Each structure stands twice: as C-alpha cells, then as structure tokens.
Chains A and B, each alone.
Chain A
C-alpha cells in the first residue's frame, strides 16, 4: 500500500536514514539528503567517502541495511524509465563487439520491451542522441576505437536517448580532456535549463563553483548540502577533507556563484 502514496514528491531525490555497509564497516552512515528538481548538483567527498555507493544505493544496485530512497516521491523501482544513469566509464569492457550507435540504442531497450528488436525508430533516436553530444560522425565506429572522452560522450548519449527527467552521472569528467569536459558541462547545463535534474559525482573541487548550483559534501556522513554558495565554505571543506586539502581549495571571499 505504501508504494502508491507519494513520499516527499517535491524532491527530485529524497534519501532518509540511509546506511550501507560493506562487511561490518559502514560505507554510508545515516544519510539524510534532499535534492530539489531542476538543479545541477555535485556530490563531492574524498576517496572512500561513499560517493559512488550513494548513487548505487539510490539506484537500487546496492542494498542498504537501513533507510529509504525516493525519486520525485516514488521508489526507484517505479521510476526506472525516468532516470538516466551514466556509470563510470571504466566499469565496462570497451572491446565489446558493438558500435557507438548500438550502445546508445541500449538506452531504449527498456522502452522497446521484451521480445522485440530495436527498429528504424530506435536507430533514428540513437543517432539524434549521438548528435546532441557531437558524436554523430562516429555512430558506426567500434567502441574500442573511440578516445576516452568520446566513450564518455557515448555513455551520456545512452542516458539522453531515454529522455529522462533525472540524470545521474558517476565521475563523467574522469580521464577526459579539457575540451571534452567543456562539451559535457555545456550539455549538462542545457539539460538542467530544460528543467531536468542533473546529479553528478565529481572529484575536482576547483570547478565545483563554476559548474554546479547545488552541492552535497559527503564523507560517509553528510557534511553539508544546499546551494553551492552556502555550502562551499572553508569549514565544510575542512570537515570533509581534513585540513590540508581545505587550505588549497578554500574559496575566495565574495567569489560565490
């Protein structure tokens, strides 16, 4: 019965009391989190702080020992088609015998349904999504022949093709060059401006202020969350990263976004 009632429908992502453990050590401890719709949100934290685990738990890929997660008020099981997920690029074998367009079409497999093959319509939509990330000329390339940045853009196109309201990206800027990073950020900002919610696990503190408008700081627990200009403070950075890094990445006064 509870599944039918909306719980916190005003939040794109609502996480309450979430705890995840690997073995006995908590990877996430008592996470309470709200991300409003229409923001571009970074999740930052040091290595091992549980950023990827938070995404995986939210998407139901890891089973939490406690707590619950809602997207726009609904459990993730009822929101599958409306959430676009971009895993870490290194999580798959790029030597898999398939083309860039084929990978993008995988984003439509759910909509196409059981026992049916992707047809001309799916191919056209895959091409359009490739076009949005500037990769239409590489549609028929074997995916191992693409550069790291191009592979990342193919992954993003796969999430785009399903026209999801909420996009979740795990370190999309890892190992891509500056030009690709600029393309990806421009694309994500455009998606945000269209009213979608974009949630990104990010590791580069120096770009947080210019790229994002919402910030979650994580280190097993939630350190801080909210608009970037309120959350990106020396105290919070110290709390998340310890003293050393906080000194490097201290935001300049009055430089808030």
Chain B
C-alpha cells in the first residue's frame, strides 16, 4: 500500500497518469462519434499516416523536438485524410479500400524514413521508436498543457455543436437537406480525431492508437441508449484504461504503453459485450433461456388443457405416458416441480392406475387459455367467469 502511495506521489508518475487519463478521455469522447459514423478505421489510417510526419518533423528539427514532430504528424495525417476523400469521391473504390491503400502506403513511407534515420544514427534516433508502440514515461510535464488545451478545445466544440454533431452522425443526408454545413461539421469531427491521435502518439503509438478511439466507444455503447451518456461513459472508460495502462507501463521497465492500454481497454469491451444489461451476450442468452422455458411450460399446460377440453372435465387427470407421447418426451422433473410450485398443475392419483397423473389447477387453466389465446371453456361452461386473459 505504501509502495503505491509512493508511486503516485512521484512527479513522473503523476505526469504520466494525468496525461494518459486526459488522452483516454479525449479519444473516448471523439471516438464515440467516429464509431457511430462508422468511421472507426479512419482513426487507424490517420494514426498510421502520422508516422512519416513524425519522421519528417524529426529530420526538419534535427532532433526529437515534440512541437515539430507533432506538427509533422498532423500534416501527414491530414494529407492522408484528404487523399482518402479524393479516392472515394473520384474513383469507384469504396471507403474500406481507400483506407487500406492509404494506411499501408503512408505507414510504409514512415517505416522507410524511420530506418533511414536509424541507420544514420544520432542520439535521439532511438527515441523515435517509442512512437511506434508508445512509451508513457516519455511524457513531460510541459506536454500536459498541450494535451489539456486540445482536450478543452475538443470538449468546448462538442458541447457547442452537440445537436449538429448528433444530427450529422445519425443522418447526414437529412442534415444536408436541412441546410446544415455537413462537410464542414464532418471535417471538424475528423480534424478533432486527428488532433487526439497526434497527442496520443507518444503515449500509445501509431500502431495501436486506434484501439483507444474505438474500444471505449464500443464498450460504452453496450451500457446505454442515449448519446450523451454514451459519450461521457466512453470518455470515462478511455481515461481509466489509459491511466491504468500508463501506470503499469511506467512502473515496469521496458514495457511499451500501447499494448498494455490495448489489453486493458479490450478487457473493458469484453466485459461490456458479455454482461451489459439488455445488449450483453449473457443477458441475451438468459432472455433466450427464459423464453424457451416459457414456451416449454406453455406446451405442458396447453397439452393438459386440451386433454381436459377433449374430456369435458376440468379436473381430467393426464397420465405420464400421455404427456410423454403428446410432447415427444417427458418434461424434466424440475420443470414439473416448478409448475407444481407455481400452483398451475397438481399431482393426482387415478386408481386403479398406479402411474403418476397431473391435472390443471384453475390458475393452470387460465394460464393455458391465455397462452393459446382462446377463451377458457373448461372453467366457464356457463360463461359466469371472466376469460383467463392476462
């Protein structure tokens, strides 16, 4: 416990924690819009395309100067986005193909530049490798101001244009027909995603940055059905995963931050996809099981009910063998017991037969009638009782 407190009070770790949480919150917030606009992979292309920019910034500045590196990353990222847009508009290629082409070409150029710089050597050239997979410990206190500024700007923009971003994300054609400057709004969202990527580069790295955009949003979507909650939740998940990943990486020698963050945030997605109420897989499996049980119970009840009707005897005792034949197989004892407990059927004897028999209770008849949707004739031959519909 003391070790943890020591750790958190250390200046470097504080910087890393705040930076990672900020970055996670920014990319979580903007990633929610990217995911809803089905542009998840745009972030992947943009972050890979940032690598040549990082190298160019390094070459121009002649060293690992953060300002020029980030400016370069933003420039090549924007260029990649522009080329993708042109490919989609001017050719018959679809978005996925354009993304794939641009991503791999830009990344290839980046790797070539990276190896060129490394063969030429130099003290700072090793630090460039951290941009591939990220290194939380490389974050400086001064970087926090850049991250905070970009985060604040993104937050203000999202709040100011909330309903416009919402409309464009849901139905861009309608927004355009209503006269909204859709291209400008979409470009705004894309530029903000690019900025989030640029600040996230040294933390998570170009290769895995996209996970911090997509995964928090994908996890958040499972828990809510309103956009506002989803965006906030996505930011919170991003911040938590980013901070946890950075903390682990900063305190363990030689552990790149990107992969750790990705593993943590993937865990959040996994949990959300499984257990989230309503949309989670477990939840749905449970609902499916309940539905199956209901249908199965219904078959037992309606079988007993139709036997009683056929014999014009509400208390007709159905023998085990008859149930088995009618249903194809004898219902499991647990199901019979449950139906007895719910007071829908009761075991009876029918001498001289020694086998088990069951009859429907009044509630059982009502339930069976409700299931089959027909009026309960066995219970109300004179029409004195209400229909058993619920």
Chain A residues engaging chain B, CB cutoff 8 angstroms? 23, 56, 59-61, 77, 80-81, 83, 85, 87, 91-93, 96-99, 103, 106, 109-110, 112, 114-115, 117-118, 142, 158
Quick check: B171 and A91 within 8 Å, CB to CB? yes
Q: Is B160 an interface residue (CB 8 A)?
A: yes
Q: Is B176 an interface residue (CB 8 A)?
A: yes
Q: Which of B161, B162, B177, B178 has the most CB of A within 10 A?
A: B177
Which residues of the other chain, B, contact A83 by a CB distance below 8 angstroms?
177
Q: Give the segment of B223-231, B326-334, B364-372 that binds chain A.
A: B223-231
Quick check: A109 and B170 within 8 Å, CB to CB? no
Contact of B164 among A98, A103, A109 (CB under 8 A): A109
Supposing A85-B177, A87-B174, A103-B170 touch, asked if A93 and B225 sit within 8 A by C-beta, the answer is no
Supposing A93-B38, A96-B170 touch, asked if A80 and B225 sit within 8 A by C-beta, the answer is no
Contact of B179 among A80, A98, A112 (CB under 8 A): A80
Q: Is B59 an interface residue (CB 8 A)?
A: no
Measured CA separation A87–B177 after assembly (Å): 10
Which residues of the other chain, A, contact B174 by a CB distance below 8 angstroms?
85, 87, 106, 158
Measured CA separation A256–B71 after assembly (Å): 69
Supposing A98-B226, A109-B163, A118-B163 touch, asked if A61 and B169 sit within 8 A by C-beta, the answer is no
**1/0 contact string of B22-46 vs chain A (CB within 8 Å):** 0000000000000010100000000
Measured CA separation A61–B161 after assembly (Å): 22
Quick check: A117 and B170 within 8 Å, CB to CB? no
In the complex formed, the residue of B with least CB distance to A115 is B160
Contact of B167 among A85, A97, A106, A114 (CB under 8 A): A106
Quick check: A97 and B180 within 8 Å, CB to CB? no
Quick check: B173 and A109 within 8 Å, CB to CB? no
In the complex formed, the residue of A with least CB distance to B176 is A61
Q: Which of A85, A97, A110, A115 has the most CB of B within 10 A?
A: A97
Quick check: A87 and B170 within 8 Å, CB to CB? no
Quick check: A87 and B171 within 8 Å, CB to CB? yes
Which residues of the other chain, A, contact B163 by a CB distance below 8 angstroms?
106, 109, 112, 117-118
Measured CA separation A91–B170 after assembly (Å): 10
Q: Is B221 an interface residue (CB 8 A)?
A: yes
Quick check: A97 and B227 within 8 Å, CB to CB? yes
Contact of B221 among A91, A97, A99, A109 (CB under 8 A): A97
Quick check: A97 and B171 within 8 Å, CB to CB? no
23 intermolecular pairs with C-beta atoms under 8 Å apart: A23-B92, A60-B177, A61-B176, A61-B177, A77-B179, A80-B178, A85-B178, A87-B171, A87-B174, A91-B171, A91-B173, A92-B170, A92-B171, A93-B170, A96-B36, A97-B226, A98-B170, A98-B226, A99-B226, A106-B171, A109-B167, A109-B178, A114-B164
Measured CA separation A186–B339 after assembly (Å): 48
Contact of B225 among A85, A99, A103, A110 (CB under 8 A): A99
In the complex formed, the residue of B with least CB distance to A142 is B225
Contact of A59 among B177, B226, B227, B230 (CB under 8 A): B177
Which residues of the other chain, B, contact A158 by a CB distance below 8 angstroms?
174
Measured CA separation A59–B163 after assembly (Å): 22
Measured CA separation A77–B176 after assembly (Å): 10
Which residues of the other chain, A, contact B164 by a CB distance below 8 angstroms?
109, 114
In the complex formed, the residue of A with least CB distance to B229 is A97
Q: Which of A61, A96, A99, A112 has the most CB of B within 10 A?
A: A96
Which residues of the other chain, B, contact A98 by a CB distance below 8 angstroms?
166, 170, 225-227
What distance in Å separates the Cβ of A173 from its nearest Cβ neighbour in chain B? Answer: 19
Which residues of the other chain, A, contact B229 by a CB distance below 8 angstroms?
97
Which residues of the other chain, B, contact A85 by a CB distance below 8 angstroms?
174, 177-178
Measured CA separation A81–B177 after assembly (Å): 9
Interface set, chain B 96-122, CB cutoff 8 A to A = none
Which residues of the other chain, B, contact A109 by a CB distance below 8 angstroms?
163-164, 167, 178, 180
Which residues of the other chain, B, contact A99 by a CB distance below 8 angstroms?
225-226
Q: Which of B162, B167, B170, B227 has the most CB of A within 10 A?
A: B170
Measured CA separation A118–B162 after assembly (Å): 11
Contact of A60 among B169, B176, B225 (CB under 8 A): B176
Interface set, chain B 216-254, CB cutoff 8 A to A = 221, 224-227, 229-230
Which residues of the other chain, A, contact B92 by a CB distance below 8 angstroms?
23
In the complex formed, the residue of A with least CB distance to B220 is A97
Supposing A103-B170, A109-B164, A112-B163 touch, asked if A97 and B230 sit within 8 A by C-beta, the answer is yes
Which residues of the other chain, B, contact A117 by a CB distance below 8 angstroms?
162-163
In the complex formed, the residue of A with least CB distance to B38 is A93
Which residues of the other chain, A, contact B230 by a CB distance below 8 angstroms?
97
- Excluding A92-B170, A97-B225, A106-B171, 20 further A-B contacts by CB distance (< 8 Å) are A59-B176, A61-B173, A83-B177, A85-B177, A85-B178, A91-B171, A93-B36, A93-B38, A93-B170, A97-B224, A97-B226, A97-B229, A99-B225, A99-B226, A103-B170, A106-B163, A106-B166, A109-B167, A115-B160, A142-B225
Which residues of the other chain, A, contact B169 by a CB distance below 8 angstroms?
96
Which residues of the other chain, A, contact B226 by a CB distance below 8 angstroms?
97-99
Interface set, chain B 275-330, CB cutoff 8 A to A = none
Measured CA separation A109–B167 after assembly (Å): 8
Which residues of the other chain, B, contact A106 by a CB distance below 8 angstroms?
163, 166-167, 170-171, 174
What distance in Å separates the Cβ of A99 from its nearest Cβ neighbour in chain B? Answer: 7
Measured CA separation A183–B255 after assembly (Å): 63
Measured CA separation A122–B229 after assembly (Å): 21
Quick check: B178 and A110 within 8 Å, CB to CB? yes
Which residues of the other chain, B, contact A115 by a CB distance below 8 angstroms?
160
In the complex formed, the residue of B with least CB distance to A162 is B178
Which residues of the other chain, A, contact B167 by a CB distance below 8 angstroms?
106, 109
What distance in Å separates the Cβ of B169 from its nearest Cβ neighbour in chain A? Answer: 7
What distance in Å separates the Cβ of A159 from its nearest Cβ neighbour in chain B? Answer: 9
Measured CA separation A81–B179 after assembly (Å): 8
